[in-house]
Structure 1
């Protein structure tokens, strides 16, 4: 089967921005089959109708690593809750599970089955900034860590890539993925 990685971009994003192409290249060079799908519906379409499309569009195995950024990280919570397999790793970069600001967040579920999420991932990381401009900060990461266990890494790196924050490489992610 081989190792697989799926990198989910954030709200309004696409596969060609931030560190997504760089990380995809690094993982491919290490033998991963890498997908960086374009899902314009992330955080636009309600999760109840969007999630089945994502589940249908990808194959998840015990050798899959999931990486999500911002809205893509929030998507990983719903995804992990509804998988029928335990994936190897999930890394939520600037992730959140409650509305981080006053914007609408259709990617969020009303509530989560934390035990189901935990049972569908072997190793989970939360990477957050203390100074995230959208509120996807270390408090959000801590709240998920308290419910799911895993590891939280706190930086002072804004949103880890944004329209006004070039973030072409993300060495930490390359090191975390085994």
Structure 2
């Protein structure tokens, strides 16, 4: 095995340089992880059927991989987990969702999910959502995924956990959840 690795996926319209992504990458790197914070500008703009193969080709996944996704990046993790052929160590979905959270188009969502396949491809899964999220990526979305996949649901009152109008430079909780 190549050792512990982590992939941190930004949200819709985001980049690796917003909110807590680089901070978390630095924390994990200091603990011996090989960390990628890729920029995928097509996330949630390009249909998942054509976008997902590009993501799968661009990254590798193994039993020591930790996946972290925020917002649209968390929704992307569901598709990744469904379509990889290995069981990763951990997935943390921050402000994630599995159904349209608002009236916007959500090309990152699949028409349906193979929940058993998703569950079989991750050993430890967390859902972190807020009670009130400006985009609808709230605790009800987290509950919908938790009920299908198990794992751990964490509900906070922290909005979207980082956005253009919500500075969120550190995310201690996510750092602590990663072994």
**1:82 has 2:63 as partner:** no
CA apart distance, 1:158: 0.2
Alignment of 1:96-111 (within 5 A): 96-111=97-112
Task: Report what 2:22 is aligned to.
Answer: 21
**Residue of structure 2 equivalent to 1:144:** 145
Q: Distance in 1 between matches of 2:111 and 2:18?
A: 30
Runs of 4+ in 1 over 4 A off after TM superposition: none
Partner deviation per Cα, 1:56-108 (whole Å, 9 max, x = no partner) = 00010000000000000000000000000000000000000000000000000
Matching of residue 114 in structure 1 with residue 118 in structure 2: no
Q: Within the alignment, does 1:135 sit opposite 2:136 as a pair?
A: yes
Q: Distance in 2 between matches of 1:174 and 1:95?
A: 17
Alignment root-mean-square deviation, CA:
0.3
Q: CA deviation at 1:133?
A: 0.5
Unaligned runs of 5+ in 1: none
Residue in 2 that maps onto 1:124:
125
SS at 1:25's partner residue? helix
Matched residue count = 178
